[in-house]
Each structure stands twice: as C-alpha cells, then as structure tokens.
C-alpha cells in the first residue's frame, strides 16, 4: 500500500511538472521573439544571474547557451556586490531569474545594469514584480503550483525556467545556423566529438601504401601508380626526396585534354607544384579544414625536412568521426 502511495505521489509530481512546461507554450509570443533577437544581436556575452535554485538553473542555462554558440557566464548576485559585477560590460545582455521577481540580492544589481544601459531579460513568475518592471523584456515562467505538497519548495517553477532557457538556446542555435560540426568543436571530449582528438599520425597511411614517384618518371607510369594505390593522387619528390608536387585525378584529366601525345611526358612538366601538405602532429580537424578549404580529398603528410611520410584521406577522417 505504501509503495502505491509513493508511486502515485511520484506520478503526480511528474504530471505537475509536465503541465508546468506545457503551460509555457501559451507564454511564447512577441516577448519571446524580442528576447531571442536581443540575445542574437548581443555584441558581448550573456550574463545570467539568479539566487538559490534559480541560480542553479541559471548556471545550466549559461552552460547550454555557451555550448551552442552563445558565450554566456553565470554571475552570483550575492557576490556581485563584492566586486564580481565588474564582469558586466556595456556590450552584454543580462538574463535575471527570480520566480518572485523580488529577490533582494538580484534587485541590488539593477542600478549597475541601468547605469551601463545593459539590456535585461527578466525571467519571472510575477509580471507585476520589481524585476518585471525593470526588465526590457519579460519571459513569464509562472506555474499554477509547485510539485511540493506544501507548494513551497521550487520544483515545477525551476523545471519551467529550465525549459524556457532550453527554448531560448535552441531558437538561437537555429537562428545562428549552428551546425553539427560546430557542436562537435565545442564538445571535443564527448562521445560525438571524440574524433576531433585524433592527430594526423593516428589516421594517415604509411609505408608501402604511399604513392610516391619521382619528378622524372613518365606520366603513364605515374597513372599506373595512382590507379594501383587507389587514393586519387601521387606524391612527387625531387632528387633529394623532398615533396615537390602532386598529381591528382583532376591533373590527369586536364593533361589528357591538353596533350595529344602523353607518351613522352614526364611528371615534373604536368604536376601541381607547391601542393598543400600537413604535419603528422597536426589535428585531424586541421586536415579536414584544409581539404574543405581547397576542395581536395587527400593530403600529403611531410616531416621536418619536407619529405613525404604519409597520406591522409577524407575517408580516413570519415571513419574516425572527424568529418
């Protein structure tokens, strides 16, 4: 009997909190649009502040905004009057969170915010509160009741606040055109971003698999080398073994269109000189950046003396989760 009562109470808590989020849909309108525009056009950082449970939610909102392309910091309102308020600049936007809208520590920040002319978005459950009246935009996070049986402990109200913060972050993400690649850059240690930790030496081909030929080799012979190694390119070295050029599938097509007689051609006459290359100690993400920038699918990897020691291909980056 006791377990059923506990289970019923738990379900009631979830119903109350779920309903508190659903009620927020009625509060999404022009004020929400204005808040997103203010945050999107912010030239500095988003400073989020709140006391107690609101502060804990504020920290999470700041973390979510930062990881999705909107640089944000949390400012503890009690510490703000002891020097920390210096973090706020005229280019910033403040998001102030208080369910009652009358949290004194938060209100103590208002003179500084107004003095600097910083725009402020108030997140509160009381639209006639001091915080609401002082805000440039107000986001209504009011709930019918807390999930706490005493209707005292912040429960449904903090859940609603968190959900409103997530709504802001996702809308900003979309408005900025924040891509999956951007997300991975900000999460290099996460499961999705682990590929960004790879160095070129972890992914490159070496040894007999390298298509290395000499400047004076014939064009026809190099085509055979490219075909057999299946990388779409060959690395060309001079007499000292240093990289002097590359020959790609594209170079081959252009040469065939330009020359009627290819039997007498040597590679140094048709190769691409000063080719793009990379060091084995560079990150795989750097190799990807070069490939995207110059529309190529493979890069020569050279040592300190500019001698080729490997090749990194776009397929290797794909398999490793870098691309």
Mean pLDDT of 294-320: 92
Of residues 191 and 315, which shows the higher confidence score? 315
Mean pLDDT of 85-111: 90
pTM, two decimal places: 0.60
Residue 41 lies in a domain: yes
- Among the listed residues 282, 271, 266, the one whose alpha carbon sits nearest the alpha carbon of residue 233: 271
Q: Is the dihedral of CA 114, 166, 54, 70 positive or negative?
A: negative
Residue corresponding to tokens 């691409």: 272
Are 201 and 171 within one domain?
no
Are 14 and 158 within one domain?
yes
Domain's final residue, options 178, 211, 235: 178
Are 258 and 127 within one domain?
no
Find the CATH number of the domain harbouring 80: 3.40.50.10490
With a cut of 50, say whether residue 1 has pLDDT above it: no
Are 131 and 229 within one domain?
no
Whole-number average pLDDT of the chain: 89
With a cut of 80, say whether residue 5 has pLDDT above it: yes
With a cut of 60, say whether residue 3 has pLDDT above it: no
Domain that includes residue 77, residue range: 2-178
Partner residues linked to 300 by β-bridges = 277, 311
Task: Give the CA distances from residue 29 to residues 25, 54, 139, 140, in Å, rounded to whole numbers and listed in that order.
Answer: 9, 23, 9, 10
Distance CA 281, CA 207 (A): 18
pLDDT of amino acid 81: 61
pLDDT tens for residues 236-295?
A: 999 999 999 999 998 999 999 998 888 889 999 999 999 999 999 998 888 988 999 999
Are 208 and 314 within one domain?
yes
Are 165 and 87 within one domain?
yes
Are 153 and 82 within one domain?
yes
- Among the listed residues 308, 302, 233, 314, the one whose alpha carbon sits nearest the alpha carbon of residue 272: 233
Are 12 and 45 within one domain?
yes
pLDDT of amino acid 152: 85
pLDDT tens for residues 74-86?
A: 999 887 665 556 6
Are 172 and 209 within one domain?
no
Domain's final residue, options 144, 178, 212: 178
pLDDT tens for residues 39-51?
A: 999 999 999 999 9
Give the single-character DSSP code of 234. Answer: E
| Beta carbons of 104 and 123 less than 8 angstroms apart | no
Residue 184 lies in a domain: no
Find the CATH number of the domain harbouring 205: 3.10.580.10
């Amino acid at each position: 009997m006791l377990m059923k009562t506990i289970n019923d109470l738990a379900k009631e808590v979830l119903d109350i909190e779920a309903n508190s989020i659903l009620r927020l849909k009625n509060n999404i309108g022009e004020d929400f649009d204005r808040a997103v525009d203010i945050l999107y056009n912010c030239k500095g950082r988003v400073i989020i502040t709140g006391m107690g449970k609101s502060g804990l939610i504020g920290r999470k909102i700041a973390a979510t905004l930062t990881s999705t392309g909107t640089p944000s910091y949390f400012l503890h309102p009690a510490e703000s009057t002891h020097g920390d308020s210096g973090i706020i600049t005229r280019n910033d936007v403040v998001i102030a969170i208080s369910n009652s809208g009358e949290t004194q520590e938060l209100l103590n920040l208002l003179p500084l915010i107004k003095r600097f002319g910083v725009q402020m978005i108030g997140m509160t459950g009381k639209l006639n509160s001091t915080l609401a009246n002082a805000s440039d935009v107000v986001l209504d996070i009011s709930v019918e009741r807390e999930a706490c049986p005493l209707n005292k402990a912040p429960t449904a109200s903090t859940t609603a606040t968190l959900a409103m913060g997530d709504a802001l972050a996702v809308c900003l993400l979309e408005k900025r055109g924040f891509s999956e690649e951007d997300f991975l850059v900000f999460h290099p240690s996460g499961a999705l971003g682990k590929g960004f930790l790879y160095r070129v030496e972890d992914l490159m081909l070496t040894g007999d698999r390298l298509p290395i030929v000499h400047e004076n080799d014939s064009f026809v012979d190099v085509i055979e080398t490219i075909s057999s190694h299946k990388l779409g390119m060959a690395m060309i070295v001079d007499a000292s073994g240093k990289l002097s050029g590359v020959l790609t599938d594209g170079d081959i097509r252009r040469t065939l269109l330009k020359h009627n007689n290819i039997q007498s051609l040597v590679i140094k006459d048709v190769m691409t000189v000063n080719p793009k290359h990379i060091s084995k100690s560079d990150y795989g993400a750097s190799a990807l950046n070069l490939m995207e920038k110059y529309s190529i699918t493979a890069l020569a990897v050279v040592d300190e003396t500019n001698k080729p020691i490997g090749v990194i291909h776009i397929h290797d980056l794909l398999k490793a989760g870098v691309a």
